[in-house]
Amino acid sequence: MSDLATLLMIESWMRSTGHSLPGVIKRLGHRYILLTRDPDLYPACAGGQEHPVVAEADRIVRVDTNDTARLVDASRAVAARDGIDGVLTTCDYYLEAVAEVADALGLAGPSGAVMHLATRKHLVRRALHDAGLANPAFAVTRTWEDSLAAAAEIGYPLVAKPTDLNSGTAVRRIDDDAGLKDAFWEITGIERNTREQPLERALLLEQLIDGQELSVEAATCHGETTIIGITDKSVTGAPAFVESGHMFPARLDRDVASEVEEYVRAVLDAIGYTHGLTHTEVRLTPDGPHVVEINPRQAGGYIFDLVHRVTGTHPLELLVELSLGRNPQVGTASAPALTAEVPSGSAAVFFVMSPVEGTLQEVHGTAHLDADPAVVRWSVPAPAAIRCPRSNDAYLGHVLVVDPAGSAARERAEAAVGGLALRLADGRVVTPVGVPSELVASMSRPTMEAG
């Protein structure tokens, strides 16, 4: 294979990784052919420029990407004409399809069976249970009667979630039968995801896991997993669990970080994961780490950007390398824990969300973002429709901050967002939700700084 590789990109996310991956592929000297149901799925950027996924594609092939047989046939035709060296996507809903296409073309990738398991939350729970790993009590139900019985057996409070959606969609805390009823009808009533793929319409009920939420970013090749680092995560309050911000690397005692890393390696082994990036969300409980969800792909929410700024390792570059069957070179085996004795740089992103619905007309207070040297990027487009925080679709924008010499990136990011005021079309002025998070307060305690 020459240095110039030709990749198949099967659909993409529209934001974050979707905007970034095309430029990474070009910068590495490669090209890609986009397979998509409809190029118009990818909206134009601010200023009217084409979405990067469409604009940077060497060629666009229209095919029903939701039909695996047709997708494989189209991929074979493209490979016969252009020669294909790797297959990839940033979109959760096409990870299994990418695995099937890679297998059909004899290219690198996980097996379709493993990816089928990894992208379905209830199958992951069963695999962890069978492996004897830390795992909350859970049940999968498809009828109201079974849901009531399962809730009674596990006991409230519970977390209800779909088995096959992402971005925190329809995930909520349940404290009683009334809340369970709302969750059941919401989740089983959703027939298709945003890409028009049919859903299982099954309800996953889990024992509520308390504790600080983290995510472990890792790359696995030939069955060997390298931990890139650990990210801390803050989420909005119940009943929804929407991620409001991240900092990399997480402030953790070294022994705790090692425990989390080893647990995640065992989790990936339990599901048979041997190839690809993973973004595994865990909570630190008094009994040790417990999985919230496994995401068998790169981290979203600009975590890939945070990792790159702190370690020099770009997860999207690793995605490309893995798709080409190459063992990726990770800059550091594990990002260092931030301690008083061993200071290190940090990077954080905090998302702008509104506590009320409406239409965002204008954002006040952005001048301080431009004047703050710690703020490396921010975006809060207006006007825009406002949704209450029920999923990541509630994001109105973000602020990304770097502390090159220490661990204060999260505090600075939250302070930057906290200085904004959102003016709605009806005249109301509100402060972004979730600022400051409880995580900042807990991180400021001396006990959290001890290494």
Q: What is the percent of the chain where pLDDT is above 70?
A: 92
pTM of the model: 0.90
Q: How far apart are CA 367 and CA 402, in angstroms?
A: 18
Q: Which residues contact 184 (CB under 8 A, 6 or more apart)?
A: 141, 144, 147, 160, 203
pLDDT in tens, 67-85: 999 999 999 999 999 999 9
Residue 2: pLDDT band (50, 70, 90) is: low
Q: Does domain 137-207 have CATH number 3.30.1490.20?
A: yes
pLDDT in tens, 350-395: 999 999 999 999 999 999 999 999 999 999 999 999 988 877 788 9
Q: Taking a C-beta distance cutoff of 8 angstroms, is the pair 393, 410 a contact?
A: no
pLDDT in tens, 312-329: 889 999 999 999 999 888
Sheet holding 397-403, edge to edge: 288-295, 276-285, 212-221, 224-235, 243-248, 346-352, 397-403, 375-379
The correct CATH number of 6-107 out of 3.40.47.10, 3.40.50.720, 3.40.50.20, 1.10.3720.10 is 3.40.50.20
Residue 434 is predicted with a pLDDT of 80
Domain boundaries, the chain: 6-107, 137-207, 212-449
Q: Taking a C-beta distance cutoff of 8 angstroms, is the pair 284, 343 a contact?
A: no
Query: What are the Cα distances from residue 269, in Å, to 121, 131, 274?
Result: 16, 9, 8
Q: Taking a C-beta distance cutoff of 8 angstroms, is the pair 375, 408 a contact?
A: no
Reply yes or no on whether the pLDDT at 341 is more than 70: no
Q: Does domain 212-449 have CATH number 3.30.470.20?
A: yes
Residue 237 is predicted with a pLDDT of 65
Virtual torsion, Cα 55, 60, 62, 64, nearest 10 deg? -80
